[in-house]
C-alpha cells in the first residue's frame, strides 16, 4: 500500500482495484513482476494495472482446451470497450486501467488494438511471412509497451519514440514466442514465419518430431536470433531518452533477452526443448541495489503528473 500512497491514490475502492492488479500481476506474470520494483514507488501501481490488464486479457484468450474460451474473451473485450467509452468501470482491473490511462494520458485506441489482435489469435492462422508475424507482435505486445511509455517519462515527445518502443515490444514478444515454441507446436500453433522454415529446409512436421535435421534447425535458430537482435538494435535508442529512473527495468529486460539469444546461439536445439529457464544477468542485481540506494533522493525529483479525480 506504500506505493499507492506515493502515487497519491487515496480513494478506498480505487486502492482496492490497484491492489487486485498487483496481486494478479504477481501471480500470473511472475517474470515481469520483479522488474516493477526498479521503478520509483509512485509509478508502480500504474505499471501493475497495465500488466494485469494485458495478462488477464491474454489468459482469457489462452487455454487451448477451454471450450468457452472465445465467448469469455469476446465478452471481456466488449465490456472493456464499453467501459472505455463510458470512462468508468465496476471491474477492478478495468477500473485501474481507466484511471491509469487518465492519469498518464494513455491512448484508449492502443487498448482496442490489443483486444483486436488478441481476438484474431482465437482462430489461429499460420504466418506466411515475417511481415504478417510483425503485425501480430505489434498488436499483442507493442501496444502494451506504448501504453507504458508515458509512465516511463521520455525526454522526447512519445510520438517521436514510438517506433523504437514498438520494436522493443516486438522483440520481447518474439522471444516469448520462441520460449513457448514447443508447447505451441503441440497445440498446432507456430508463431514463426513459414518462409523462415522453408529457407532453413524445414517443415512444420519436422518441428513436431522434435528431432529435425540439426543443421537445418541451427539455420532456423540463428535466423531468429539475428532478427530479434535487429529489433533490439532498432529499439535501443529509446532507452537513453527515458527518465533515468525508468531505464533500469528496461535495461535489465534487454539483458535477459540477450542472455537467451546467446544461449540459443550456443545450443540451437534448445529451440525445441521445454521452456528454458533464463536466470537474470548478474549485473541486474547490482543495478537493483544501486537504484534502491539512490531511490529516496530520486523520488523527490521524479514527480508524477497531477492526479485526476478518483472517479474511474
Neighbours of 311 (CB within 10 A): 12
Cell numbers found for residue 58: 491474454
Render the burial of 110-137: b for 16+ CB within 10 Å, e for the rest. bbebbbebbbebeeeeebeebeebbebb
- We find that the CATH architecture of domain 124-306 is Orthogonal Bundle (1.10)
DSSP string computed for 49-94? HHHHHHHHHHHHH--TT-TTHHHHHHHHHHHHHHHHHHT--SSHHH
Does 1-105 match 124-306 in CATH topology?
yes
What does the alpha-carbon distance between residue 49 and residue 159 come to, in Å, rounded to a whole number? 22
**For 232-288, what is each residue's pLDDT tens digit?**
999 999 999 999 999 998 998 898 899 999 999 999 999 987 665 555 544 444 444
Q: How far is CA 236 from the centre of its chain?
A: 16
Positions in the chain whose pLDDT score sits under 50: 281-302, 306-312
- We find that the CATH architecture of domain 1-105 is Orthogonal Bundle (1.10)
pLDDT at 256: 87
pLDDT at 275: 60
Domain residue spans of the chain: 1-105, 124-306
What does the alpha-carbon distance between residue 255 and residue 155 come to, in Å, rounded to a whole number? 23
Cell numbers found for residue 176: 516469448
**CB-CB contact of 221 with 273 (8 Å):** no
pLDDT at 310: 42
pLDDT at 286: 41
The SS3 call for residue 123 is coil
**CB-CB contact of 59 with 35 (8 Å):** no
Amino acid at each position: 500500500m506504500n506505493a499507492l500512497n506515493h502515487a497519491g491514490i487515496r480513494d478506498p475502492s480505487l486502492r482496492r482495484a490497484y491492489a487486485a492488479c498487483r496481486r494478479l500481476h504477481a501471480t500470473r506474470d511472475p517474470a515481469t513482476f520483479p522488474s516493477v520494483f526498479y521503478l520509483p514507488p509512485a509509478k508502480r501501481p500504474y505499471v501493475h494495472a497495465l500488466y494485469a490488464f494485458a495478462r488477464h486479457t491474454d489468459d482469457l484468450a489462452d487455454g487451448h482446451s477451454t471450450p468457452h474460451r472465445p465467448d469469455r474473451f469476446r465478452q471481456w473485450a466488449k465490456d472493456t470497450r464499453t467501459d472505455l467509452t463510458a470512462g468508468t468501470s465496476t471491474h477492478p482491473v478495468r477500473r485501474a486501467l481507466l484511471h491509469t490511462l487518465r492519469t498518464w494520458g494513455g491512448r484508449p485506441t492502443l487498448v482496442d488494438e490489443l483486444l483486436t489482435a488478441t481476438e484474431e489469435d482465437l482462430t489461429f492462422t499460420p504466418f506466411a511471412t515475417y511481415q504478417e508475424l510483425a503485425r501480430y507482435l505489434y498488436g499483442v505486445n507493442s501496444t502494451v509497451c506504448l501504453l507504458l511509455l508515458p509512465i516511463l517519462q521520455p525526454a522526447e515527445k512519445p510520438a517521436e519514440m514510438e517506433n523504437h518502443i514498438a520494436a522493443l515490444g516486438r522483440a520481447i514478444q518474439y522471444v516469448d514466442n520462441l520460449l513457448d515454441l514447443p508447447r505451441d507446436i503441440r497445440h498446432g500453433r507456430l508463431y514463426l514465419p513459414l518462409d523462415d522454415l522453408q529457407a532453413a529446409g524445414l517443415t512444420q512436421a519436422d518441428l513436431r518430431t522434435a528431432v529435425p535435421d540439426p543443421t537445418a534447425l541451427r539455420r532456423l535458430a540463428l535466423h531468429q536470433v539475428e532478427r530479434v537482435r535487429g529489433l533490439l538494435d532498432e529499439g535501443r535508442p529509446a532507452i537513453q531518452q527515458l527518465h533515468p529512473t525508468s531505464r533500469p527495468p528496461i535495461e535489465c529486460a534487454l539483458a535477459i533477452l540477450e542472455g537467451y539469444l546467446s544461449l540459443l546461439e550456443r545450443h540451437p536445439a534448445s529451440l525445441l526443448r521445454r521452456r528454458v529457464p533464463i536466470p537474470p544477468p548478474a549485473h541486474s542485481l547490482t543495478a537493483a541495489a544501486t537504484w534502491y540506494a539512490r531511490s529516496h533522493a530520486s523520488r523527490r525529483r521524479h514527480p508524477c503528473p497531477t492526479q485526476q479525480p478518483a472517479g474511474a
